[in-house]
């Protein structure tokens, strides 16, 4: 068995070492142009050359939940593609979104600003029923976030491309129900995959459809959001704030207006990080199953031969 690895954002040796421990008889190495034919590839944002040179792969593993980097490429037609189901990211995402929702609902950003100015100022409690949380995207991450928020008693709403039913969540689906979903979501959380259909989905029209005094939490991809439209809607007073963890260009340029806008909080793409051991445990389990003859569609995280959602 031969396994190749390509991810320029991480140090490869720890990944390679764990793969070698799991498959001591295999050849495991970082991919280089002209590498011999491999059985499996673990990648993040691979070059087209890797895919062109490896059309015989038994499976391609995307080292993340989102497959938008693969959507830009031409994939070998017969190669099954897998993305990470969770690998420790769902609980991180739930933590991040819960603290963001609570921060907005309890006005903790304003309380912190008062504290820095030496002001002792209590604020009137808000009505929880006025703060419906709408989650865009009802996959593994979206469902985990909604489950965590349920404990706090917020009204919960969810929107997806196709119909879903979740206990305790008012669900909406498709283009026809998109406006109604937005109008009732005081805090909007974006967890959608980035596809041609969702690119720039958070534009001025969508943001103005949120209730006055609403909030945006974007933890999916920067290209979902039209930056200038968010700035305009915030400056108009229609929205009260935004927490952004993902951006069209990363790292966020030092001169970008998001850094200094009083109603925007920026975090450095840290809402849910890929955890190496958890990710490799999932991938190794799938390789073992495939080698034993399991069908790709019987394994979690299978996207399909042609990438899509």
CA distance 265 to 112: 13
Instruction: Let me know how many helices (H) and strands (E) the chain has, helices first.
Output: 10, 13
Q: Which of 106, 221, 223, 256 is catalytic?
A: 221
> Is 221 designated active site?
yes
Q: 110 near 123, Cβ under 8 Å?
A: yes
178, exposed or middle or buried, with CB in 10 Å at 0-12, 13-18, 19+?
middle
- Say which DSSP state 236 is in: T
Q: 262 near 112, Cβ under 8 Å?
A: no
Kindly tell me the sign of the dihedral angle through the C-alpha atoms of 274, 275, 280, 285: negative
Q: Which of 269, 273, 277, 304 is catalytic?
A: 269
> Is 269 designated active site?
yes
Among 306, 283, 305, 291, CA closest to 80: 305
Catalytic residue annotation: 221, 269
């Amino acid at each position: 068995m031969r396994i190749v690895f390509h991810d320029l954002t991480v140090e490869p040796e720890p990944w390679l070492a764990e793969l070698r421990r799991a498959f001591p008889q295999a050849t495991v190495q970082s991919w280089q142009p002209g590498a011999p034919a491999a059985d499996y590839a673990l990648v993040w944002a691979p070059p087209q050359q890797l895919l062109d040179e490896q059309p015989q792969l038994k499976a391609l593993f995307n080292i993340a939940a989102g497959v938008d980097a693969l959507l830009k490429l031409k994939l070998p037609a017969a190669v099954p593609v897998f993305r990470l189901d969770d690998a420790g990211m769902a609980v991180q995402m739930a933590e991040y979104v819960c603290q963001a929702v609570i921060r907005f609902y309890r006005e903790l950003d304003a309380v912190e600003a008062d504290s820095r100015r030496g002001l002792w100022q209590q604020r009137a409690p808000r009505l929880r029923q006025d703060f419906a949380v709408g989650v865009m995207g009802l996959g593994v991450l979206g469902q985990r976030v909604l489950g965590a928020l349920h404990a706090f008693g917020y009204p919960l709403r969810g929107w997806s491309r196709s119909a879903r039913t979740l206990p305790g969540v008012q669900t909406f689906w498709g283009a026809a129900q998109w406006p109604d979903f937005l109008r009732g979501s005081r805090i909007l959380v974006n967890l959608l995959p980035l596809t041609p259909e969702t690119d720039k989905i958070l534009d001025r029209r969508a943001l103005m459809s949120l209730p006055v005094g609403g909030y945006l939490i974007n933890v999916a991809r920067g290209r979902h959001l039209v930056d200038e439209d968010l700035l305009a809607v915030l400056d108009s007073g229609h929205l009260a704030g935004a927490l952004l963890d993902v951006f069209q260009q990363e790292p966020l340029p030092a001169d970008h207006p998001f850094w200094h806008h009083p109603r925007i909080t920026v975090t450095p793409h840290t809402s849910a990080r890929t955890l190496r051991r958890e990710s490799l445990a999932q991938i190794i389990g799938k390789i073992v199953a495939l080698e034993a003859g399991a069908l790709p569609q019987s394994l979690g995280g299978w996207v399909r031969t042609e990438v899509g959602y």
